[in-house]
Amino acid sequence: MPALELRICLDESDLAAALRLDARRGLTSHPKYLPMRLHYGGRGSALFGELTRQPEYYQTRSERAILRDRAGEIAAAVGPAGVSVVELGAGRAEKIRPVLDALHGQGRLDAFWPFDVAAGEVRDVLLELATAYPDAYLGGIVGDFTLHLAHLPDHRDTRLVAFLGGTFGNFTGLERGQFLRDLREALRPGDRFLLGADLVKDPEVILASYNDAAGVTAEFNLNVLYELNHRLGADFEPDNFEHIALWDSDTATVDMRLRALKPMKVDVAGLGLGLDFSAGEEIHTGISTKFHRGELENQLQAAGFEPARCWTDERDYMGVFLAEAV
């Protein structure tokens, strides 16, 4: 059994406090908005898993195809020496597994660190991978990767930080820039960054993935109201809202919203808030920016990374970018 280390940067009370702060700020703003983290609470994770299996939802399948087919090239492009891999927002560490397998097969996987907010899931992943990678050092970080990048492990070999799944597109432009600068500050020259991003394509293809025929995306979006009811004692009636996804060609961004179907009052007991909604009023529940390859490489360079490679699927729907900290 390899060494297992867990670095705890936040706990359930921290997450609950952050949710209260974010929800209060968002629900008292004009227009109202809610934090993306609400999408993945409770049933949200299961609904997202169901969403990735819908025929319209190309993102997960396309990125997995790249990582599966190009894992050996990615491992080789990181360099010839041993590698310590950190996956941000790792979940079950399913996305990064082909790259881990490739490095392990080459005898170069020195360590793996899943980084996520769910302590139980991080522990479970470490125990599961202990059998698959018996010679690797395994550790986990329980934290928020927008706040706790200073806690990245340093084994003095090349570090590969992976951020997959297109989550990078859920940040605003300012947030993306700050995240990249924070990550660069946490790395040494020569460390690598592996980034999965959704590429600009036909808007009809993009919007179809947010308006699937089975209605899973709509259910996924509406689930944030159930989460507010469950976690903050709110009395939202989700049936009184409809799912909206809009494409902004100027910013290459999908904007997800929930639109009130009638005037209503909502109490959020856990925040001591009373909310009034007019018919047609919207809650902004998240964005998903799509990227041109050159644009994203420019953003990486501006933050202190040198783009090295980009792999795409056969339709150029998704891109996996490898950059080096300089």
CATH number at residue 18: 3.40.50.150
Confidence band, pLDDT 50/70/90 cuts, at residue 168: very high
pLDDT(156) > 90: no
Domain that holds residue 65: 1-143+156-326
Give yes or no for residue 65 having a pLDDT over 90: yes
Question: What is the length of the chain?
Answer: 326
Other C-beta atoms lying within 10 Å of the C-beta of residue 110: 20
- The model's confidence at residue 2, banded by pLDDT at 50, 70 and 90, is low
Confidence of residue 41 (pLDDT cuts 50, 70, 90): confident
Residue 32 included in any domain: yes
Q: If you search the block for the tokens 């009184």, which residue do you land on?
A: 240
Token pair belonging to 3: 């060494």
* Mean pLDDT rounded to a whole number for the chain: 95
Residue 217 lies in a domain: yes
Instruction: Please report the pLDDT score of residue 3 as a whole number.
Output: 54
Residue 42's pLDDT is 78
Does residue 148 lie within any of the structural domains?
A: no
For the chain, the domain total comes to 1
How would you class 294 by CB atoms within 10 Å of its CB: exposed for 0-12, middle for 13-18, buried for 19 or more?
exposed
Does residue 309 register a pLDDT over 70? yes
> Is residue 149 a part of any domain in this protein?
no
164 in a structural domain: yes
Residue 26 has pLDDT above 90, yes or no: yes
- Is 323 part of any domain? yes
Tell me the pairing of strands 109-116 and 83-88.
parallel
